[in-house]
Amino acid sequence: MRIGKTLLAAATALTLASTLISCNLDGGRGVYQAIYQAPPKSNDKITALLGHTSDNSKVVGIQNGDLHVYTAEEHDRKIADITKSPYMPFFFDGTNIYFAMQNDKGYIDFYYDELTEIESSGSLSPSPATVNFVGGENREVVAFESYNYFLDKVMIFYTFEGENDGASSDEKIKHYGFFEVKKEDGTSDVDPDSHTITVHGDIEVPSTCVVFGDGMIRSFANDSDIDGIRNGNFVIYTEDGTRYDKNITISTGSVRESDIAMGFDGEHLIFLDGDIADVSKNSNRLHNWRGFVNDLIYRQDDIMVPYHLDVDGGWPSFTIGYLYGEGIYVNPDGMDDGEGPRLISMSSDTDIMTTAFIGNKEPTTEGNRRTYEFLMATKENGLWNLHLEITRSEVENDDPNNDPVYTYHYSGSSGRYTGTIQDYKYNHTPKELV
Amino acid sequence: MKKFKIALMLLLLIPGMLSAAEPYYDSGSQMFSIKAGVTTPFFYYNPENDNSTNTNKNPVISMWPGMGHDQTHRTIGGVASIAYQVFLNPYLALGGELGFQFDFANDGNVGTNVPIFMKLTYMPVQTGKIDVPISIGAGFLYAGYKDLSKITFGCEVELGVRFFITEAWGVGVNVGMYLFPEIYTSNTEWFSMMSYIPATISVTYRH
């Protein structure tokens, strides 16, 4: 009987508690929805690669906000915590890391620090460096952005004090320039003795410009009303300071979203609506491949970093890239007219953004099959490995005196990489504009 | 086919034959159980998906563990509980159960549910050595994930089989279904429902 009373008391207490909870059913906030919508587990975020040593044994990058090195022996190693540092690292010349920092007057000053010093001390103690902007002497840099997609070439945006008098700082004319850490003739725009960098280009561009390919930026003549993609001319500039005359204006007047180029590999533009066009055809998207990829609208700006590999020995040269939300894309050189690049793999984890390619291994050949391994840094998934396989078959040839003619088949896969950068050599070849 | 029908009839008759025997429990008998096991996400239902990146608020019905589009975005998880019940008559026991269930979301963070249920158990089979309890439970639920939490209601059904090694101590296996609706009266876009299939082993002390 006593147990029955206890149970009755418990039931009464529960009923009272239920009533109280019922009165406050708007407490809390969508717990199960938050779980259902949780983004994938956060992996290493490599937001920038600054450069590599000449022997490729060490690459410096920014991972999870800190300075890291990737070496032949270690997957990665944190060398300095810079999350709260005022210094913004923007490239590594093989010996020194260069930094930009805003001074008390609101201008940008430049600094350098030796990598070995940073590694041994675990902190920064930069010394002043000099940056010469061609055509911009005696003016102060008021804003600075840097892109180093290609490890040996840095593309930068900057603005100068004194222009756009009376305009607010965010309306100042943006300039676009670049410097090369290692040129083909062995020289460099970086003087390691005087710690002076020479920036070429100095193109005045609208403030909406972004880098989106090998030496290419896009912009609009008028800054837009919605995310910079409407109401203006869409323009492509090359890094040597000239606008790309052959196909400079992709669209005039009201720019449609489908006219926004999101990637460029030196030959093809990939548009926001998933189409692809060959800019070498001197025409306004007459030579295009509709529906090359899925609709890229609402995706991120930097969807592709192409990597062009010159190959000999009877195998084709090609450009390989990774398209955000799609997977591996290959554009073989010497395609017949009417043929376009191809998507060769749909990875299960395609929504990754490329920071830069680190390099590729020496290809291996077995008969009519050749395999390549590429390594790139990503903004969401740390180091990422691309496996490409090319198989060729000989076309029947009536004349035995002729060289064999082949057709090529491309296939590939990709995935998170946990090894070291050993054996991955940086062999990227800038692709000349046609 | 005929043999199958006969076998099926015999199978269905067993509980009846067993329950026809003298019941083991009396009014006032008590049971204390500890359970532990795994939970499989069964389904997730959200009639008005509040995803800020998706302007189309389509209902979401997804099933089973996994992070795929049609899955619940949860992993297989774990569950543990303690329960105390008193028999109201030889076949019905009433009491309470405190549980703890967890699994992991796509981002690696843990999601938890703490059910505090009233539990009613019907014991159709009770031989002294073997019990077959059929239970329903209902009560409060505390759901948590990162810095979010919610107190709401929940309910469960459960079927078990227990084998008593001694007069007082038994072990068993159980399977059931949790139904956890996250109820809001005004912010109805946050309403959603999670269901699990718990599979547990239990240790029971009876007196």
The verdict on a CB contact (< 8 Å) between A29 and B148 is yes
Of residues B44, B118, B185, nearest to A14 (C-beta) = B118
- What is the rounded CA–CA span in Å between residue A321 and residue A365? 22
The verdict on a CB contact (< 8 Å) between B192 and A21 is no
- What is the rounded CA–CA span in Å between residue A172 and residue A112? 27
Q: Is the dihedral of CA A326, A331, A335, A338 positive or negative?
A: positive
Q: What percent of chain A has pLDDT over 70?
A: 67
pLDDT in tens, B45-63: 988 765 444 444 567 889 9
Among residues A431, A420, A426, A386, which one has the least CA distance to residue A92?
Answer: A426
The verdict on a CB contact (< 8 Å) between B44 and A21 is no
- What is the rounded CA–CA span in Å between residue B118 and residue A129? 73
Contacts for A68 with CB less than 8 Å, ≥ 6 apart: A46, A60, A61, A62, A76, A77, A78, A79
Phi and psi, residue A36, nearest 5°: -65, -35
pLDDT in tens, A250-281: 444 444 556 666 777 777 777 767 777 776 65
Terminal-residue alpha carbon distance, chain B: 45
Pair type for strands A46-52 and A369-378: unpaired
The verdict on a CB contact (< 8 Å) between A30 and B146 is no
Burial level of B113, CB count in 10 A (0-12/13-18/19+)? buried
Is the model more confident about B136 or about A316? B136
**Predicted pLDDT of residue B21:** 63
Q: How many CA atoms lie within 13 A of A317 on its CB side?
A: 13
Spell out the per-residue pLDDT of chain B, length 207, in tens.
556 566 555 444 455 555 556 888 998 899 999 999 999 999 999 887 654 444 445 678 899 998 877 789 999 999 999 999 999 999 999 999 999 999 999 888 899 999 999 999 999 998 989 999 999 999 999 999 988 899 899 999 999 999 999 999 999 999 999 999 998 887 777 889 999 999 999 999 998
Q: What string of H, E and C letters represents the secondary structure of A102-167?
A: ECCCCCEEEEEEEHHHHHHHCCCCCEEEEEEECCCCCCCEEEEEEECCCCCEEEEEEEECCCCCCC
Calculate mean pLDDT across residues A301-317: 76
**Predicted pLDDT of residue A232:** 34
The verdict on a CB contact (< 8 Å) between B143 and A3 is no
Maximum Cα–Cα distance across chain A: 108
**Predicted pLDDT of residue A167:** 46
User: Could you tell me if residue B9 is inside a domain?
Assistant: no
Q: Amino acid identity, residue A128?
A: P
- What is the rounded CA–CA span in Å between residue A378 and residue A305? 11
On chain A, the residues whose CB falls within 8 A of the CB of B140 are 14, 17-18, 21
User: Could you tell me if residue B33 is inside a domain?
Assistant: yes
Calculate mean pLDDT across residues A349-357: 79
Is the model more confident about A339 or about B3? A339
Q: How far is B132 from chain A (nearest CA, A)?
A: 23
pLDDT confidence of A244, banded at 50, 70, 90? very low
Q: Is the dihedral of CA B14, B20, B22, B23 positive or negative?
A: positive
On chain B, the residues whose CB falls within 8 A of the CB of A3 are 28, 30, 86
User: Could you tell me if residue B125 is inside a domain?
Assistant: yes
Whether the Cβ atoms of residue B105 and residue B144 lie closer than 8 Å to each other: no
Residue B192 in tokens? 């959603």
The verdict on a CB contact (< 8 Å) between A28 and B182 is yes
Whether the Cβ atoms of residue A232 and residue A221 lie closer than 8 Å to each other: yes
pLDDT of A177 strictly over 70: yes
**Could you tell me if residue A143 is left (phi over 0), alpha (psi between -120 and 50 degrees) or otherwise beta?**
beta
Looking at every residue in chain A, the average pLDDT score rounds to 76
Among A66-80, A163-177, A309-323, the range scoring the smallest mean pLDDT is A163-177
Calculate mean pLDDT across residues A172-193: 82
**Predicted pLDDT of residue A252:** 40
On chain B, the residues whose CB falls within 8 A of the CB of A42 are 107-108
The verdict on a CB contact (< 8 Å) between A18 and B153 is yes
Its domain, for residue B188, covers 28-206
Question: Could you tell me the CATH number of the domain that includes residue B38?
Answer: 2.40.160.20
Of residues B86, B107, B108, nearest to A3 (C-beta) = B86
Calculate mean pLDDT across residues A58-62: 95
Of residues A14, A34, A42, nearest to B148 (C-beta) = A34
pLDDT of A168 strictly over 70: no
pLDDT confidence of A246, banded at 50, 70, 90? very low
Number of domains in chain B: 1
Nearest CA in chain B to A39: B107
User: Could you tell me if residue B84 is inside a domain?
Assistant: yes
Whether the Cβ atoms of residue A230 and residue A254 lie closer than 8 Å to each other: yes
Is the model more confident about B12 or about A388? A388
Among residues A332, A337, A406, A405, which one has the least CA distance to residue A372?
Answer: A332
Q: Say which residue the tokens 């204006």 belong to.
A: A249
Neighbours of A337 (CB within 10 A): 7
Whether the Cβ atoms of residue A417 and residue A428 lie closer than 8 Å to each other: no
**Predicted pLDDT of residue A81:** 93
Calculate mean pLDDT across residues A18-23: 63
User: Could you tell me if residue B2 is inside a domain?
Assistant: no
- What is the rounded CA–CA span in Å between residue B168 and residue B99? 23
**Predicted pLDDT of residue B54:** 40
User: Could you tell me if residue B18 is inside a domain?
Assistant: no
Residue A273 in tokens? 């609506």
Residue A411 in tokens? 């296939």
Domains of chain A: which residue ranges? 46-312, 313-434
**Predicted pLDDT of residue B29:** 92
User: Could you tell me if residue B5 is inside a domain?
Assistant: no
ipTM: 0.87
Burial A345-381 (b: 16+ CB within 10 A, else e): bebeebebbbbbbbbbbebeeeeeebbbbbbbbbbbb
Of residues B30, B144, B190, nearest to A33 (C-beta) = B190
Among residues A215, A109, A67, which one has the least CA distance to residue A154?
Answer: A215
Strand stretches in A279-345, DSSP E: 288-289, 307-309, 318-323, 327-332, 342-345
Contacts for A415 with CB less than 8 Å, ≥ 6 apart: A347, A349, A384, A385
Of residues A3, A26, A36, nearest to B60 (C-beta) = A36
Maximum Cα–Cα distance across chain B: 63
pLDDT confidence of A395, banded at 50, 70, 90? confident
For residue B44, give Cα distances in angstroms to A226, A227, B65: 36, 35, 10
User: Could you tell me if residue B6 is inside a domain?
Assistant: no
